[in-house]
Structure 1
Amino acid sequence: MEKYSLKTGLREQTILKDVYFTPPFNLVEVRENKKNPLLEMMVMSSSPGILNDDFYDINIEVIDGSSLNLQTQSYQRIYISEKGTNQHMNISVGVNAYFSHVPHPVVPHKGARYTAKNTIHIKNSSTLLWAEILTCGRKHMGEGELFQFKKHHAITEIIQEEVLIFKDNLYIVPEEINLKEFGQYEEFTHQGSLFFITPETDVIERMENIAQRLSKEEGISYGISKVLDNAYVLRILGNEGEQLYKLFTQIRKEEDYLINQRLRLN
């Protein structure tokens, strides 16, 4: 079992209090401006990707009043895996705490089997930005690599004060369904989802700004829905993982900036 864990601390600004990792992982701070209250960390890996029978166990604790952005180093490749590959991620975001995570796209290779379970516990006063992007595989290797993975099953549950407020259950077995059909991927090859929640704020203005921006973007189809008064979900279909990643990262950077500004004023 490969694992890493991270716990924030507070000392005028957010610091890294506890960290633990096993090969192939390494966690490094990438906060350029050391005066920023927001702690920025990057997960690095010496492995080319998730290999057959790998099990990634990840635990993140963002304590009360702290703020964390967790980044990834590169695309997450999932190799051919007869026994399957697994990842479990458990996240806790405390009172008046902030956590943002927009990882690079997942690239399941031909023959890959992948199961992921993400469980995120937040408080009423927590702010959370969470995104995931799935590609069709190694698209530029030709038709023989498009949707040739065996299974991709990713479940994300967001639990606020012991109440499940959002669940995303992405289950794709290409052999069992024509993903080009109407109502599926159709002419697209990549999909991404982004969930955002912030306390005591109506997200309508944020949603309108995002929709206005995306309406000018070529090569995508998108939808944005209000989940709660203070929460929305954005879904995008496209044909380039880098395009979706940049769009989500732009939203994430805007929220990171706002949290830095707010914490500085406090």
Structure 2
Amino acid sequence: MKPAGSPPWAVAEALGASIPELAAYQDEPPQMRSGTVGKTGFLRLGFETRGSRTILANLERRAPYMAQRALYCDQEMPFLPYVFLITTTGCLLQGDRLALDIDLGPGAQAHVTSQSATKIHGMDANYAAQIQTITLAEQAYLEFLPDPIIPHRHARFISHTQICVAPSATLLLAEILQPGRKYHHPDECFGATVVSFSTAAVRPEGRTLFTEKLMIEPQRFAMRQTGVMGSFDVFGNVILCTPADKAERILERAEADVQLADAMAFGACRLPNDAGLIYKVLGRDTAQVKAKVREFWGIVRKEVTGADLPPPFLWR
């Protein structure tokens, strides 16, 4: 936890300084020190119900992290606000520290996504770090579906997501990790130095639900071996926190299969402590993985809200 009165991005700074996988990368970038103005972005989104719809009631931002007004563009859920996350730099660089805080009040509903893929540039000093805090009150519903993460060759990136979810709330959180710019240069595919993702969830009273950590270090451990990525290139990880009865209905509808001819593998299983489900997808191409994540998203939305998905955007 960050000390009282410290800025939100201080948590990302403290996280990167404390975990062992980044111990060798604490040197400062020669261009601009880590954590300075312009490299410390903060975004807080607070959603509340107003009458029959949810509004973006609280928006705090610090460049290079920002968002604009909420859009009501979903014809299947016309009272659902869409908010697009924006980074004005267009990518993450060495020394960047980002903090995202999403808070949904009782009964609030929202869809949060990103303007484009998150590109993490190559690094010769330090690393980039991101902290995400998501809080859902009773009966809240959040779809957090950002575009894929693309770590470039020699990228160093850590992300930690802390979830606090009420028993009757639903959170759909998806992360899609690409192997890099595999068509740009042969060494770009799984060329990152270290990429680390962790997620932890608790109930409002503090009871732990689950923790998960994914870490890849392609220069130390082969990614093509069985049990890691094998012949697959793209990894999709979807966490669904939802009441147990909804989770069981969704699990019954979610398919599981390994399709080697199509270079696809996918399936769901239960999270501990009746927290919900986790759904994983492996594919050769990003479009395949995104399509499977969308299928699961459609099942979740229908079972939880009764609504269908809108047609996909033309640019997706």
TM-score of the pair, normalised by structure 1 = 0.89
The alpha-carbon deviation at position 216 of structure 1 amounts to 11
Q: Does 1:52 find its partner at 2:94?
A: yes
Partner of 2:175: 132
Inter-partner Cα distance in structure 2 for 1:201 and 1:157: 22
Deviations 1:108-128 (A, max 9, x none): 001100011110100111111
Which residue of the other structure, out of 193, 205, 226, is the alignment partner of 1:182? 226
Inter-partner Cα distance in structure 2 for 1:225 and 1:67: 25
Amino acid at match of 2:289: L
SS of match in other structure, 1:141: coil
| Segment drifting more, 86-95 vs 44-53 | 44-53
Cα 1:72–1:190, aligned 2, differ >3 Å: closer, same or farther?
same
Which residue of the other structure, out of 13, 16, 20, is the alignment partner of 2:60? 20
Partner of 2:72: 31
The alpha-carbon deviation at position 77 of structure 1 amounts to 0.4
Partner of 1:227: 271
Q: Does 1:69 find its partner at 2:111?
A: yes
Deviations 1:184-228 (A, max 9, x none): 111111111111132251533322322069879932112311225
| Segment drifting more, 72-81 vs 193-202 | 193-202
The alpha-carbon deviation at position 260 of structure 1 amounts to 5.1
Inter-partner Cα distance in structure 1 for 2:136 and 2:109: 9
The alpha-carbon deviation at position 5 of structure 1 amounts to 0.6
Q: Is the 8 A contact 2:256 2:266 kept in 1?
A: no
Inter-partner Cα distance in structure 1 for 2:143 and 2:62: 23
Inter-partner Cα distance in structure 2 for 1:135 and 1:21: 28
The alpha-carbon deviation at position 30 of structure 1 amounts to 2.7
Q: Which structure shows the bigger proportion of residues in strand conformation?
A: 1
SS of match in other structure, 1:211: coil
Which residue of the other structure, out of 75, 84, 93, is the alignment partner of 1:42? 84
Partner of 2:162: 119
Q: Does 1:244 find its partner at 2:283?
A: no
Q: Is the 8 A contact 1:10 1:66 kept in 2?
A: yes
Map 1:190-205 to 2 at 5 A: 190-205=234-249
The alpha-carbon deviation at position 248 of structure 1 amounts to 1.4
Amino acid at match of 2:50: R
Q: Is the 8 A contact 1:84 1:112 kept in 2?
A: yes
Inter-partner Cα distance in structure 1 for 2:83 and 2:261: 29
The alpha-carbon deviation at position 256 of structure 1 amounts to 4.0
Identical residues among aligned pairs (%): 21
The answer for unaligned runs of 5 or more in structure 2 is 1-39, 308-316
Cα 1:85–1:23, aligned 2, differ >3 Å: closer, same or farther?
same
Inter-partner Cα distance in structure 1 for 2:260 and 2:140: 33
Deviations 1:139-173 (A, max 9, x none): 11132111111100111111123222221201111
Amino acid at match of 1:185: M
Inter-partner Cα distance in structure 1 for 2:168 and 2:255: 26
Cα RMSD of the aligned pairs, angstroms, is 2.3
The answer for unaligned runs of 5 or more in structure 1 is none
Map 1:145-184 to 2 at 5 A: 145-161=188-204, 162-184=206-228
The alpha-carbon deviation at position 2 of structure 1 amounts to 0.9
Cα 1:33–1:77, aligned 2, differ >3 Å: closer, same or farther?
closer
- Larger RCO (CA within 8 A; separation ≥ 6): 1
In the comparison of the two structures, how many residue pairs are matched? 262
Cα 1:144–1:136, aligned 2, differ >3 Å: closer, same or farther?
same
Cα 1:37–1:260, aligned 2, differ >3 Å: closer, same or farther?
farther
SS of match in other structure, 2:183: helix
Q: Is the 8 A contact 1:31 1:41 kept in 2?
A: no
Inter-partner Cα distance in structure 1 for 2:277 and 2:60: 33
SS of match in other structure, 1:88: strand
Inter-partner Cα distance in structure 1 for 2:63 and 2:258: 39
